[in-house]
Amino acid sequence: MHILLIGAGGREHALAWKLAQSPTLTRLSAAPGNPGIAQHATIIDVDTNDFAAVAQFCTDTAVGLVVVGPEAPLVAGLADVLRAAGIAVFGPSAAAAMLEGSKGFVKALCAAHAIPTAAFARHDDADSAIADLSRFGLPVVIKADGLAAGKGVIIATDAAEAVAAVRDMFDGSFGAAGTSIVIEEFMVGEEVSLFALCDGKTILPFGSAQDHKRVGDGDTGPNTGGMGAYSPAPCLTGELEAAAMENIIRPTVAAMAAAGSPYVGVLYAGLMLTAEGPKLVEYNCRFGDPECQVLLPRYRGDLAALLLAAATGRLDACDAPFSDDSAITIVMAAKGYPAAPAKGGAIRLPDAVPAHCQIFHAGTAQAGGALVANGGRVLNIGAQAADLASAQAAAYALVERVDFADGFYRKDIGWRGVK
Ligand code: AMP
Ligand code: GLY
């Protein structure tokens, strides 16, 4: 089977690496790609924002499956255009991607189907939102409704900050994403990520992970896309995972199917393990980045066959075998990330990588035969071992061997899981 992979980050390098090991894969193409993805795939010259051109490439080259990595093309309807052209896609339609594309949509769905989540209110103007703030207590969570690259969430610790956040959002600081906002009760607990593959009706659990969103050691400093992750999440016991599947993911997938927008792809649930049980923080309509980089090394099956089964409504015949190992990934970012990452920093990678370790490229580029930084998060250094502490030691040993003077990384990825 010829697969086309859409995306250009560390998540997509991990997908390319795993797909390349699949017996059912005969050819792998990718766009836009990156130098790491290019080790496993042919990078094609097709504008991924031009959905018709992507479909044309698929028809011309007998692509049997398109795997879409990031959320933006899904929310914009890439999967719809491809399906209309008869091409199998791993990834939800625009209507189903609303689970990530609109926070208000998700909260309304939770309310309609008694799915546990934070109490909330949706507002379309600043004055009504501000008048409503006080009943949520403090801290209070204020979210732009639409996609805001992970930056549209403000946790205000006092009333003045909450009012300022509301005004900011309606003043356009998050663009169109902020024309509607959601106010939420602040939930207390440990956060975990739970993944499930879906084919529209069947749900296949696909592992758990925890990430580190803050830029600095000890979970300090500004939020990022994620500075590292590990899998499985030790705090998500089998019992809690079963509760989340039963009370959160299953009713969501059923509701999407009943509404005529069946969910196909990977559903990524951000959960808060509260004193009352798991509650939904948010959904994403794709694999996490860098969570994907710790899930896939633990998956022991044929990924190409599995994603095709999800794309074609045949997940009921599948299982998802995972190794019992722990996996970790350390993000190496460019100095200045997340505000203003330095571009162009020289990178020298070790000639050989030990067994059970990987270096995935996130934001890299080739410049005159040399590898340079080309983004905020630049490399993902991963390792797997029988326990998380050993995986952590192996990953940091490999980080030490990467020569990236303009880069930095957190020294404590995995601390919560090791503890
Ligand atoms: P989101 O983009 O919705 O995942 O929000 C980003 C981060 O904000 C989450 O990972 C949580 O750490 C935090 N957060 C969001 N909503 C809540 C909430 N209702 N209570 C506590 N923390 C939250
Ligand atoms: N690492 C968080 C995300 O992918 O949304």
Q: In testing the pocket of ligand 2, which one of 153, 210, 211, 337 has its CB within 8 Å of the most ligand atoms? A: 211
Pocket lining: 100 vs ligand 1, CB cutoff 6 Å: no
- Summary mean pLDDT of the chain: 95
Closest by Cα among 203, 200, 222, 204 to 213: 222
Q: Per residue in 312-333, pLDDT tens? A: 999 999 999 999 999 999 999 9
Q: Nearest bound ligand to CA 106? A: 1
Rounded Cα distance between 263 and 251, Å, is: 12
Q: What is the DSSP letter of 286?
A: S
Closest by Cα among 115, 120, 100, 268 to 181: 120
Rounded Cα distance between 417 and 419, Å, is: 5
Q: Per residue in 241-282, pLDDT tens? A: 999 999 999 999 999 999 999 999 999 999 999 999 999 999
Tell me how many degrees the CA angle 313-316-319 measures, rounded to the nearest 5: 120
Pocket lining: 35 vs ligand 1, CB cutoff 6 Å: no
Pocket lining: 196 vs ligand 1, CB cutoff 6 Å: no
Q: Give the pLDDT mean for 66-90.
A: 97
Residue 347 scores a pLDDT above 80: yes
Distances (CA, A) of 223 to 133, 151, 290, 334, 337: 23, 8, 14, 15, 10
Residues in contact with ligand 2 by the CB-under-6-Å rule are 150, 211, 225-226, 284, 288-289, 291
Q: Give the pLDDT mean for 400-418.
A: 95
Residues 352-379 as b/e (b if ≥16 CB within 10 A, e otherwise) read: eeeeebbbbbbbbbeeeeebbbbbbbbb
Ligand 1 atom having least distance to the Cα of 143 = 3
Rounded Cα distance between 68 and 70, Å, is: 6
pLDDT of residue 146: 75
Q: Give the pLDDT mean for 219-229.
A: 94
Do 402 and 347 touch, CB atoms closer than 8 A?
yes
Distance 335 CA to ligand 2 centre (A): 20
Q: Per residue in 36-60, pLDDT tens? A: 999 999 999 999 999 999 999 999 9
Residue 150 scores a pLDDT above 90: no
Ligand 2 atom having least distance to the Cα of 288 = 4
Q: Give the pLDDT mean for 385-393.
A: 98
Residue 23 scores a pLDDT above 70: yes
Do 331 and 382 touch, CB atoms closer than 8 A?
no
Distance 227 CA to ligand 2 centre (A): 10
Q: Per residue in 303-314, pLDDT tens? A: 999 999 999 999
Distance 9 CA to ligand 1 centre (A): 23
Least confident window among 57-71, 97-111, 193-207, 266-280: 97-111
Contacts of 263 (CB under 8 A, 6+ apart): 92, 96, 99, 198, 200, 252, 253, 256, 257
What residues pair up with 334 in beta bridges, in sequence order? Answer: 407
Token duo for residue 19: 């797909």
Per DSSP, which regions of 202-361 are E strands? 203-211, 214-216, 220-223, 228-231, 264-274, 277-284, 326-334, 346-347, 357-361
What residues pair up with 274 in beta bridges, in sequence order? Answer: 277
* CA-closest residue to ligand 2 atom 3: 288
Q: What is the pTM of this model?
A: 0.95
Ligand 1 atom having least distance to the Cα of 120 = 19
pLDDT of residue 361: 98
Name the pLDDT band for 285 (thresholds 50, 70, 90).
very high
Distance 210 CA to ligand 2 centre (A): 10
* CA-closest residue to ligand 1 atom 3: 282
